[in-house]
């Protein structure tokens, strides 16, 4: 018995020590603490009358949500929104000069010299400069010669040659102009020729008024001198027109109109239709002209410009005498109606 007691005693002591270590160190202590007044949390809205939260969409019919949005200006008075407010309204503009756009310049603007640069560089130096400026920009002198037709005609009647040339010298407004044309047979016999000397004045950007004299040369008949009045220029659709009236020293009044057009097939290949009509106020047997529309001539030429200054061509031309001119042409031994193939050259320099 005593041996058993000795054996269990150490075990009981160890178990009691472990239990003592797990006990709350404050167990059995009286921890009196001062009483704290409980401070209740005060509602900031206490005593306020708070209406219940209202649904902003309460009572709205939400069945059609695709309706157009309400006009933001609905109920606003827009009657005065059409007029643009003057940004200077209420500003004092009494000291501002509100001259009309087409009002004449003030008198002080015309009180100085005609050319203000004269006061700086001198009148003599500026006069020379102004003359040079005019000459280089508006008074250029040019001279030109255009051989429009230099050709041979083969076909009905006698084979013939023909020339038609003109030229000028002068400025853009005033020019001295000359023209010449004639024809003969290939055996060397001259049928007729004419030379004109004209004063030409530009009356518009595309038209020139011309006046002067014309001298006819006829180996088989009397020569004739005419006063010339005509115009030459570029008509709409790029038709080149040359028209003139002639009054001979014997009182014979006649006229001639030429029209031609350059239709460019390529930059170098050009097809040119050409029409010429002659008229007379009365019969003039010495000029082979009958009263009225005396003759008409129509041709078509195709030329190739190797350069702008050198363009050979070939084509066809039909000529018809009309009225009493037919009898005058027949009496001279020529055909009143003929068609010829033409080969020629157009050049200018």
Q: What are the two backbone dihedrals, phi and then psi, of residue 10, each rounded to the nearest 5 degrees?
A: -60, -35
Over range 127-146, report the average pLDDT: 86
> What is the rounded average pLDDT of the residues 118-144?
86
The string over 207-225, giving b where at least 16 C-beta atoms fall within 10 Å of a residue's C-beta and e elsewhere, is ebbbebebebebeeeeebe
| 285-323 pLDDT per residue, tens | 877 888 999 999 999 999 999 999 999 999 999 999 998
Which residue(s) pair with 345 in the sheet? 150, 312
Q: What would the pLDDT profile of 58-78 be if each residue is shown by its tens digit?
A: 555 555 554 455 555 555 555
More confident residue, 180 or 189: 180
Average pLDDT over residues 113-123: 87
User: 341 vs 19, which has greater pLDDT?
Assistant: 341
CB 151 within 8 A of CB 183: no
Going by pLDDT thresholds of 50, 70 and 90, the confidence category of residue 188 is confident
Structure tokens at 244: 């003139």
In this prediction, residue 36 carries a pLDDT of: 47
Write down the pLDDT at residue 67: 46
Assess contact for 315 and 289: CB atoms under 8 A. no
Residue-wise pLDDT for 23-49, tens only, equals: 454 544 444 444 444 444 555 555 554
Kindly indicate the confidence band of residue 22, based on its pLDDT and cuts at 50, 70 and 90. very low
Name the token pair of 313. 């061509």
Q: Of the segments 71-80, 133-142, 201-210, which one has the largest average pLDDT value?
A: 201-210
Distance CA 14, CA 224 (A): 169
Rounded to a whole number of angstroms, the distance between the first and last alpha carbons of the chain is: 162
Distances (CA, A) of 67 to 26, 57, 313: 76, 16, 79
Q: How far apart, in whole angstroms, are the C-alpha atoms of residue 20 and residue 331? A: 170
pLDDT at 239 over 60: yes
**Chain centre to alpha carbon of residue 104:** 33
- Per residue in 92-101, pLDDT (tens digit) is 555 555 556 6
d(CA 59, CA 162): 105
pTM, 2 dp:
0.63
SS (H, E, C) the chain: CHHHHHHHHHHHHHHHHHHHHCCCCCCCCCCCCCCCCCCCCCCCCCCCCCCCCCCCCCCCCCCCCCCCCCCCCCCCCCCCCCCCCCCCCCCCCCCCCCCCCCCCCCHHHHCCCCCCCHHHHCHHHHHHHHHHHHHHHCCCCEEEEEEEEEEEEEECCCCEEEEEEEEEEECCCEEEEEEEEEEEECCCCEEEEEEEEEEEEEEECCEEEEEEEEEEECCCCCCEEEEEEEEEEEEHHHEEEEEEEEEECCCCEEEEEEEEECEECCCCEEEEEEEEEEEECCCEHHHCECCEEEEEEEEEEEEECCECCEEEEEEEEEEEECCCHHHHHHHHCCCCEEEEEEEEEEEEC
- Report pLDDT digits (tens) over 264-290: 999 999 999 999 999 999 988 877 888
pLDDT value for 331: 81
């Amino acid at each position: 018995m005593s041996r058993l007691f000795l054996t269990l005693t150490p075990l009981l002591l160890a178990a009691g020590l472990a239990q003592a270590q797990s006990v709350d160190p404050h167990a059995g202590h009286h921890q009196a603490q001062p009483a704290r007044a409980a401070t209740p949390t005060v509602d900031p809205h206490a005593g306020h009358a708070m209406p219940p939260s209202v649904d902003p969409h309460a009572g709205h019919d939400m069945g059609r949500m695709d309706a157009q949005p309400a006009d933001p200006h609905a109920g606003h008075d827009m009657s005065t929104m059409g007029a643009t407010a003057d940004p200077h309204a209420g500003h004092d503009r009494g000291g501002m000069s509100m001259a009309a756009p087409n009002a004449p310049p003030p008198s002080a603007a015309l009180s100085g010299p005609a050319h203000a640069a004269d006061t700086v560089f001198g009148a003599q130096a500026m006069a020379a400069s102004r003359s040079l400026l005019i000459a280089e920009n508006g008074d250029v002198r040019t001279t030109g010669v255009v051989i429009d037709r230099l050709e041979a005609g083969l076909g009905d009647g006698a084979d013939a040659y023909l020339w038609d040339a003109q030229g000028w010298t002068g400025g853009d407004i005033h020019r001295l102009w000359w023209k010449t044309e004639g024809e003969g047979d290939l055996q060397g016999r001259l049928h007729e020729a004419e030379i004109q000397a004209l004063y030409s004045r530009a009356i518009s950007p595309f038209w020139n008024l011309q006046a002067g004299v014309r001298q006819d040369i006829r180996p088989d008949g009397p020569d004739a001198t005419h006063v010339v009045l005509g115009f030459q220029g570029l008509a709409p659709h790029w038709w080149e027109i040359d028209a003139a009236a002639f009054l001979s020293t014997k009182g014979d009044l006649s006229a001639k109109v030429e029209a031609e057009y350059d239709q460019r097939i390529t930059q170098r290949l050009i097809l040119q239709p050409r029409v010429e009509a002659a008229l007379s106020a009365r019969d003039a047997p010495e000029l082979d002209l009958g009263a009225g529309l005396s003759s008409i001539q129509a041709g078509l030429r195709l030329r190739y410009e190797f350069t702008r200054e050198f363009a050979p061509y070939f084509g066809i031309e039909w000529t018809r005498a009309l009225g009493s001119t037919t009898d005058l042409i027949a009496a001279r031994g020529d055909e009143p109606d003929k068609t010829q193939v033409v080969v020629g050259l157009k050049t200018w320099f």
